């Protein structure tokens, strides 16, 4: 039903899309695959009217289709879930769901008439208990991602575009989303789906199209192609080991967390980490993993408990903790992880300027050299180091954020969804780097909702549920089912803490 041919799009000197062609059919799911910066998001933005293509033609149901604005595309029945959250933080959940839809009757918002539809959409994405009047900006990233999906569902679309919807969703929500997509497909909608998880793609999609450097390099039915073939189409070479491991030895205890509680979560969390250990944290959305990391890093106040590093209690402020060797990678790269209006170098160097300075004066050349090195190390795809971060593709932004943490040269790495939005090839590179860090005696906390990577990379894995750390076992003693079961289990002591 959707035909795209010869679409090209440039941003200044960058060619994001170069004569891309593909087709999506009714009742089928098309997976759009490619490395970071290949042009996937740009293509979807062209389809949704957010960008206008420089050349090329598109047709929808046989009619020419050249949306000049998001409104235009929506009227033609195209809905989209963007890679980066596009919710107005100051509006309530229900208002965000209705955003951009015409009101019923003379521009008035009769929310009560829409309530059913809103409730239905929220239920579909698994947020039946979310208060529609709550402020959107106060919700966790995962919840916001689900709200964003709900918004696409609430429109009567014929073609729905998903840009990495699962990158910040835990497994249970992913399952629900797939169920949903399956229903939509049965109803005869066409769906385009971007993901860096090939097994997801296999589960949900019927067809694939691969982009590389803005070119279409292959498409067809998924049944007829192997993962290895897809990957080599994507990266232009073979990637042999998806989860490379670097052997590392676990040493002395380093970080002791005792009865750490925040308000309201995490509650009563105790664990101990050693040198050279990679500690994984699994859990459902809202389990409190993010909160735990932020408490450890000092971004959230701890209500109770102690954290000892090398036997000494941690200082209070973030700045001091950073000096003590803690480093955090935020799960929210858009508003917290990166300063979007600054250049790559500026972001890489932020907070690390001490390295390139004497008596407060910077050595710009040294800074530039070092930052270039880190950019190459994590393979950031950009014009140059001066490029503004918000012009980078999602995955490349994530790489910049990760590289900053590497540049900081921390002792304890708190990584919140570090591989979010990163392509398969680079992911394996990141796992290798994590292994190398551990081998160098660093300690890593690895929060992820993608269980295979936790199981493959970590030495120990803990599961959080409702703010508590319920179970910690060596990675070898876990498998995916056990992790899922542990994550949904209600912690036994939860009633006590509610009143504590």
Ligand X SMILES: Nc1ncnc2c1ncn2[C@@H]1O[C@H](COP(=O)(O)OP(=O)(O)OP(=O)(O)O)[C@@H](O)[C@H]1O
Report the interface residues with ligand X, using CB under 6 A.
Answer: 11, 14, 16, 34, 36-42, 83, 138-143, 170, 265, 283, 285-291, 331, 381, 391-396, 421, 423, 449
- What angle do the packed helices 227-235 and 424-439 form, to 10 degrees? 90
Q: Identify which of residues 322 and 442 has a Cβ nearer to other proteins in the complex.
A: 322
Q: Identify which of residues 248 and 321 has a Cβ nearer to other proteins in the complex.
A: 321
Q: Identify which of residues 196 and 248 has a Cβ nearer to ligand X in the complex.
A: 196
Residue 11 near which of Mg ion, other proteins, ligand X, none (CB within 5-8 Å, type-dependent): ligand X
Residue 351 near which of other proteins, Mg ion, ligand X, none (CB within 5-8 Å, type-dependent): other proteins
CB of 456 to Mg ion, least distance (A): 20
Q: Which residues does residue 463 pair with via DSSP β-bridges, in sequence order?
A: 282, 471
Per-residue three-class SS string for 63-105? EECCCCCHHHHHHCCEEEECCCCCCCCCCEHHHHHHCCCCCCC
Q: Identify which of residues 248 and 289 has a Cβ nearer to ligand X in the complex.
A: 289
CB of 100 to other proteins, least distance (A): 4
For 123-164, where are the E strands, in sequence order?
159-163
Does 166 contact Mg ion by CB under 5 A? no
Residues 285 and 168: their CA atoms lie apart, in Å, by 9
Token digits of residue 331? 């799960």
Which residue carries 């008439």 as its tokens?
Answer: 113
Residues 178 and 156: their CA atoms lie apart, in Å, by 19
Q: Identify which of residues 152 and 198 has a Cβ nearer to other proteins in the complex.
A: 152
Q: Identify which of residues 31 and 275 has a Cβ nearer to ligand X in the complex.
A: 31
The number of beta carbons lying within 10 Å of the beta carbon of residue 140 is 16
Residue 14 near which of other proteins, Mg ion, ligand X, none (CB within 5-8 Å, type-dependent): ligand X
Question: Do the beta carbons of residue 466 and residue 288 sit within 8 Å?
Answer: yes
Dmax over CA atoms of the chain, in Å, equals 69
Indicate which single residue of 7, 16, 39, 41 sits in contact with Mg ion (rule: CB under 5 A).
Answer: 41
Q: Give me the count of residues in the chain.
A: 500
Residue 183 near which of Mg ion, other proteins, ligand X, none (CB within 5-8 Å, type-dependent): none
CA 24, 30, 33, 38 torsion-angle sign:
positive
Residues 200 and 138: their CA atoms lie apart, in Å, by 29
CB of 135 to other proteins, least distance (A): 10
CB burial class (10 A; 0-12, 13-18, 19+) of residue 102?
A: exposed
Which residues of the shown chain bind other proteins in the complex (CB under 8 A)?
48-50, 52, 54-55, 69-71, 73-74, 82, 86-91, 95, 98-100, 102-103, 107-109, 263, 299, 301-304, 317-319, 321-323, 328, 330, 335-342, 346-347, 349-354, 357, 360-362, 364, 404
Question: Do the beta carbons of residue 377 and residue 399 sit within 8 Å?
Answer: no
CB of 356 to other proteins, least distance (A): 8
Indicate which single residue of 83, 124, 448, 460 sits in contact with Mg ion (rule: CB under 5 A).
Answer: 83
Q: Identify which of residues 74 and 466 has a Cβ nearer to ligand X in the complex.
A: 466
CA 28 vs. chain centroid, Å, equals 25
Residues that bind Mg ion (CB under 5 A): 41, 83, 290, 331, 393-394
């Amino acid at each position: 039903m959707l035909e795209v041919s010869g679409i090209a799009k440039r941003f200044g000197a960058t060619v994001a899309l170069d004569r891309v062609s593909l087709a999506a059919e009714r009742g089928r799911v098309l997976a759009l695959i490619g490395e970071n910066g290949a042009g996937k998001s740009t293509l979807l933005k062209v389809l949704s009217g957010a960008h206008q293509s420089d050349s090329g033609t598109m047709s929808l149901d046989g009619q020419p289709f050249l949306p000049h604005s998001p409104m235009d595309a929506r009227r033609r029945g195209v809905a989209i879930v963007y890679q980066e959250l596009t919710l107005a933080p100051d509006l309530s959940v229900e208002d965000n769901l209705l955003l951009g839809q015409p009101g019923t009757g003379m521009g008035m918002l009769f929310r009560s008439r829409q309530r059913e539809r809103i409730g239905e959409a929220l239920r579909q994405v698994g947020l039946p208990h979310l208060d529609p009047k709550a402020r959107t900006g106060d919700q966790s990233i995962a919840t916001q991602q689900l709200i964003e999906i709900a918004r696409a569902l609430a429109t009567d679309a014929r073609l729905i575009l998903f840009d990495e919807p699962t990158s910040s969703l835990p497994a249970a929500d992913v399952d629900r989303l797939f169920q949903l997509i399956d229903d939509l497909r049965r109803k005869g909608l066409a769906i385009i789906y971007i993901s860096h998880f090939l097994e997801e793609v296999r589960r949900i999609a019927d067809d694939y199209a691969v982009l590389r450097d803005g070119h279409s390099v292959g498409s067809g039915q998924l049944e007829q192609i192997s993962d290895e073939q897809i990957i080599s189409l994507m990266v232009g070479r073979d990637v042999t080991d998806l989860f490379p491991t670097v052997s590392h030895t676990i040493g002395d205890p380093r970080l002791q967390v005792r009865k750490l509680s925040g308000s309201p979560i995490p509650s009563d969390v105790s664990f101990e980490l050693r040198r050279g250990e990679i500690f994984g944290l699994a859990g459902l959305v809202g389990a409190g993993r993010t909160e735990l990391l932020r408490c450890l890093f000092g971004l959230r106040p701890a209500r109770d408990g102690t954290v000892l590093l090398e036997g000494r209690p941690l200082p209070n402020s973030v700045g001091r903790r950073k000096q003590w060797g803690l480093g955090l990678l935020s799960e929210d790269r858009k508003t917290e992880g990166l300063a979007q209006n600054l250049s790559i170098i500026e972001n890489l160097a932020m907070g690390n300027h001490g390295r390139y300075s004497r008596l407060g004066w910077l050595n710009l050349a040294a800074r530039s050299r070092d930052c270039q090195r880190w950019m190459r190390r994590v393979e950031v795809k950009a014009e140059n180091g001066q490029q503004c971060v918000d012009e980078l593709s999602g995955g490349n932004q994530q790489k910049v954020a990760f590289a900053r943490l590497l540049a900081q040269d921390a002792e304890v790495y708190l990584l919140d969804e570090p591989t979010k939005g990163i392509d398969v090839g680079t992911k394996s590179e990141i796992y290798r780097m994590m292994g190398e860090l551990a081998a160098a005696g660093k300690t890593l906390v690895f929060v992820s909702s993608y269980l295979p990577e936790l199981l493959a990379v970590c030495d120990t894995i803990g599961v959080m549920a409702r703010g508590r750390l319920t179970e910690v076992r060596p990675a070898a003693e876990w498998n995916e089912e056990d992790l899922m079961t542990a994550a949904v289990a209600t912690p036994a002591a939860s009633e006590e803490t509610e009143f504590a």
